[in-house]
Amino acid sequence: MEKETHQSSQVLSDISEINLREQLLVPNSHHLDGYMKMKSFTPARLGLWRCGPRYKTQSILRFRADHAAAQDSVFSYVDPDLIKAMQFIAIQTRCRSKDEYLTRPDLGRRFSTEYAEKIKKHITHPPKIQLVVGDGLSSAAIVANIKDVIPSIKQGLNHYGLDCTQHIFVKYCRVGVMDQIGEMTDADVVCMLIGERPGLATAQSMSAYIAYRPTMGMPEMRRTVVSNIHAQGIPPVEAGAYISELLYKMLRYKKSGLDLKAVENTD
Amino acid sequence: MESVVLSVGIDIGTSTTQLILSRLTIQNKASFFSVPNIVIAKKEMIYQSDIIFTPLSQGYQIDYAAIARFVGQQYMLAGVSKQSIGVGAIMITGETARKENADRVVQTLSQDAGDFVVTTAGPDLEGILAAKGSGAGKVSLERKVPIINLDIGGGTTNLAALDGDQVLDTACFDIGGRLIKVDPMTLQISYIAPKIQQLIHQLNLNLFEGTILRSTEPLNPILDVFVQVLENSIGIGERTRFFDLLVTNHCFTRRDTDRIRSISFSGGVADCMMQSENRQPFVYGDIGLLLGKRLRHSKIYRYKQVVTPQETIRATVVGAGSYSITVSGSTIAYTPDALPVRNVPMIKLTIEPMNGNALGLADQIKSGLEIFRTHGELTNVALYIVGLKSPSFNQLQHCAREIVSGAHALLDQNLPLIVITEEDIAKALGHSLFYNLPQNYSYICIDRINANHGDYIDIGTPVPHTTVLPVSVKTLLFSN
């Protein structure tokens, strides 16, 4: 393993910089090409090798680093400067801390009247499309993707002769918040971009939950979901373009979720 | 979302013409929670025609009326109407491709045979389609090993090395079962192909058209050369001095094809290889059976792992019917008026990872387009862009501006802008192009296409009930 010796000869400041798909720790493998090809199909940690019955030190360190990154993305906050730069209307749910956010999902789905006033002050007319950005379970996902997704959605909407302005940012956000925002703003379509629960493969995955005229307590089947938005999954700009088409379709059919699928299939 | 499309494959070969129909099931493989991923999920052959002799008139023209009649008859027998044929490919191969009306015949037939039936030609593509049609591609995909298929027909042997979906290399040799024809009754040689006459001369053999063969022995030196060249072609043994003589256009260009262990045979001679060795050797009026028998005992069986194919003599036509059409990515952008597109050459443009803003792309496009200018006029050219792996929004804008500025010559002639990418980015890129193009300008932007510089592409109208476009990429990569 020429590559490995090369790596050990110099200082590596961050172990997670190594692309796991390109790293094979099995010494003298019989069929290197086949192994590497198999690894290229999956983010799973294949070919870690072992020391006696245990993982190698490197594998354990990497596992812990990835786990730490996942935890960090849950417990960290979206940089206030980013929120300002993107000119989001910043609000917060009824949760007062990350601990409360994690233990009380119900509080993460509603916000108080104080923030309702703030939204009303900024959004005076019922918008056709209301974008909402939520930290969710991964602030890292928002930081990584939002600057590419939103302009791509807007460019896509321009293609359909539509637009969206005045985006809302929600701290301690759960998906259900979009229903309350929908009722309040009287928007035709609400699109929520929210950080997904991080895993060991990536902590930067984001989802879009989109619904036509969402209402509090509505069935989940009315939401259309686009998941796995990140650089190694659905590229954020391509996801934005696809979301813009979904928004256009929802306005056209006045439907979302399974209902939208159903009309599309008969169309 | 599921759609069934009927596909036709027609192979007009040196000696025979055949047709198959297959049913392609196009399905969304992604879960409800993701962006659609629409693929051809199933390919089933539902009809195969008899194998007829290619109808010729006056020897130097293809009898179009007879071919059209044959196609119409087969549709009737299969119980399908022309209108129900969604996609397909016509392959014109070997000698027939050189007939003076070959071009016109395939063009007309492709219009007449169905909605989006493409035309294909060339020994490289023939080898690739035969390898896929024989089932070798499937074996490679399932076992995750590379494979070489040798399609040994009447006039040529077309080789293709595949690794799953990917074509590694192709080669072609003038080795086939009908290069020498022998009357089964009189045992008299009725025909020797020109190149084989050269070979006979160089071998100092006493064989002519008219020679009566009392045994098969006089043919042995020729068969030995055939077998040896085929062994050589996949890396077995020292190259014989006749190797270069029998190369049609080129042998494998990559050295590492020698290391590929899995081999399969298709074509008429592969059929012969599986038949009893006690048959009268000239029952088909040629040397196919003898060549098959020789190959059966060749070093290929000793040094390589020979895989039994699903299709032998029909490999090429199955390849044309089932494997010449793919679908684009599911999230794409286009203006409907730009479709369909037929036989457009592609220029490949690579954006290096360090050059996220695609600097210089416009100049690359400009100079790439100039090659296609004849008498001051441009015909349309598709821009095939690779390296757009999850660009930022700003990078994408730069790229779109570079493309539109580079394609000025196409815009001047009001030709639809065709942009094709490898990575899943076409919808976003298409929207950016739309933003940068003049109002109402026709364009097509599709992704998830594997192609090479100089390939030709056909793009059809959307597959019903899906968001994908049928696409046929016709590779000319390995030809000189």
pLDDT per residue as tens digits for the range B381-401 = 999 999 999 999 999 999 999
Compute the average pLDDT of residues A215-244: 95
Q: Does A158 sit within 8 Å of B427, measured CB to CB?
A: no
**How far apart are alpha carbons B203 and B196 in whole angstroms?**
10
pLDDT per residue as tens digits for the range B44-79 = 999 999 999 888 887 678 899 999 999 999 999 999
Residue A180 falls in which region: left (phi positive, over 0), alpha (psi -120 to 50) or beta: alpha
Q: Residue B294 belongs to what H/E stretch?
A: helix B288-296
Nearest to A265 among B1, B390, B392 (CB): B1
Domain CATH for A26: 1.10.30.40
Residues B468, B26: contact at Cβ < 8 Å? yes
Chain A residues touching B427 at Cβ < 8 A: 156, 238, 241-242, 245
pLDDT per residue as tens digits for the range B8-52 = 999 988 778 999 999 999 999 888 778 888 999 999 999 999 999
Nearest to A258 by CA among A204, A207, A211, A199: A211
Chain B residues touching A227 at Cβ < 8 A: 33-34
pLDDT per residue as tens digits for the range A33-57 = 889 988 988 889 999 999 999 999 9
Q: In whole angstroms, what separates CA B325 from the centre of its chain?
A: 10
Residue A2 has pLDDT above 50, yes or no: no
Q: Minimum mean pLDDT among A119-128, A206-215, B3-12, B247-256: which range? A: B247-256
Based on the fold, state whether residues A38 and A168 are members of the same structural domain. Answer: no
Based on the fold, state whether residues A17 and A148 are members of the same structural domain. Answer: no
Whole-number pLDDT of residue B465:
85
Based on the fold, state whether residues A129 and A253 are members of the same structural domain. Answer: yes
Residues B354, B320: contact at Cβ < 8 Å? no
Whole-number pLDDT of residue B95:
67
Compute the average pLDDT of residues B343-351: 92
Based on the fold, state whether residues A119 and A226 are members of the same structural domain. Answer: yes
Residues B436, B426: contact at Cβ < 8 Å? no
Query: Phi and psi of A218, rounded to 5°?
Result: -70, 155
**How far apart are alpha carbons B97 and B327 in whole angstroms?**
27
Domain CATH for A202: 3.40.50.11240
Based on the fold, state whether residues A113 and A174 are members of the same structural domain. Answer: yes
Task: Tell whether A112 is covered by a domain.
Answer: yes
Nearest to B328 by CA among B469, B118, B182, B129: B469
Based on the fold, state whether residues A112 and A193 are members of the same structural domain. Answer: yes
Task: Tell whether A186 is covered by a domain.
Answer: yes
Chain B residue with minimum CA distance to A225: B33
Nearest to A193 by CA among A125, A144, A233, A124: A144
Sequence-distant (6+) residues with CB within 8 A of B243 are B229, B232, B233, B251
Based on the fold, state whether residues A133 and A229 are members of the same structural domain. Answer: yes
Based on the fold, state whether residues A84 and A110 are members of the same structural domain. Answer: yes
Whole-number pLDDT of residue A214:
97
Confirm or reject contact between B253 and chain A (CB < 8 A). Answer: no
Q: What token pair was written down for B171? A: 């080669």
Interface test with A, best of B34, B145, B166, B435 (most A CBs within 10 A): B34
Domain count, chain A: 2
Label residue B474 by pLDDT band (50, 70, 90): confident
At residue B388's C-alpha, the angle toward residues B383 and B389, to 5°, is 150
Label residue A194 by pLDDT band (50, 70, 90): very high
Higher per-residue confidence, B167 vs B263: B263
Q: Does A238 sit within 8 Å of B144, measured CB to CB?
A: no
Find the domain containing A52 and state its range. 10-74
**How far apart are alpha carbons A194 and B327 in whole angstroms?**
32
* The residue count for chain B: 480
> Could you identify the residue written with the tokens 């009927």?
B6
Compute the average pLDDT of residues B354-379: 88
Residue A131 β-bridge partners: A191
Which residue among A74, A90, A105 closes a domain?
A: A74
**How far apart are alpha carbons B256 and B84 in whole angstroms?**
44
Domain B136-309 classified CATH 3.30.420?
yes
pLDDT per residue as tens digits for the range B432-450 = 999 999 999 999 999 999 8
Label residue B246 by pLDDT band (50, 70, 90): very high
Q: How far is CA B363 from CA A22, B402, B409, B434, B455, in A?
A: 34, 8, 12, 20, 21
Whole-number pLDDT of residue A107:
96
pLDDT per residue as tens digits for the range A240-262 = 999 999 999 999 999 999 999 88
Task: Tell whether A3 is covered by a domain.
Answer: no
Output the average pLDDT for chain A.
92
Based on the fold, state whether residues A19 and A42 are members of the same structural domain. Answer: yes
Q: Residue B73 belongs to what H/E stretch?
A: helix B64-78
Whole-number pLDDT of residue A267:
65
Sequence-distant (6+) residues with CB within 8 A of B72 are B82
Whole-number pLDDT of residue B478:
43
Interface test with B, best of A204, A220, A238, A243 (most B CBs within 10 A): A238
Based on the fold, state whether residues A204 and A173 are members of the same structural domain. Answer: yes
Q: What token pair was written down for A193? A: 């971009």
Whole-number pLDDT of residue B480:
34
Residue A8 has pLDDT above 70, yes or no: no
Which residue among A74, A104, A129 closes a domain?
A: A74
* The residue count for chain A: 267
Whole-number pLDDT of residue A13:
87
pLDDT per residue as tens digits for the range A46-98 = 999 999 999 999 999 999 999 999 999 899 999 999 999 999 999 999 999 99
**How far apart are alpha carbons A265 and B181 in whole angstroms?**
57
Q: What is the CATH number of domain B2-121+319-323?
A: 3.30.420.40
Residues A120, A184: contact at Cβ < 8 Å? yes
Label residue B412 by pLDDT band (50, 70, 90): very high
| ipTM (interface predicted TM) | 0.89
- In chain A, the N- to C-terminal Cα span, in Å, equals 56
Query: Phi and psi of B39, rounded to 5°?
Result: -135, 165
Residues B420, B385: contact at Cβ < 8 Å? yes
Single-letter residue type at B416: P
Nearest to B317 by CA among B43, B49, B84, B116: B49
Based on the fold, state whether residues A67 and A96 are members of the same structural domain. Answer: no
Output the average pLDDT for chain B.
90
Nearest to A226 among B35, B396, B428 (CB): B35
Q: Minimum mean pLDDT among A220-224, B270-274, B435-439: which range? A: B270-274
Chain A residues touching B428 at Cβ < 8 A: 152, 155-156, 235, 237-238, 240-241
Whole-number pLDDT of residue B477:
47
Q: Which of A175-189, B117-131, B154-168 ranks highest by mean pLDDT?
A: A175-189
Whole-number pLDDT of residue B479:
39
Residue B476 has pLDDT above 80, yes or no: no
Based on the fold, state whether residues A146 and A174 are members of the same structural domain. Answer: yes
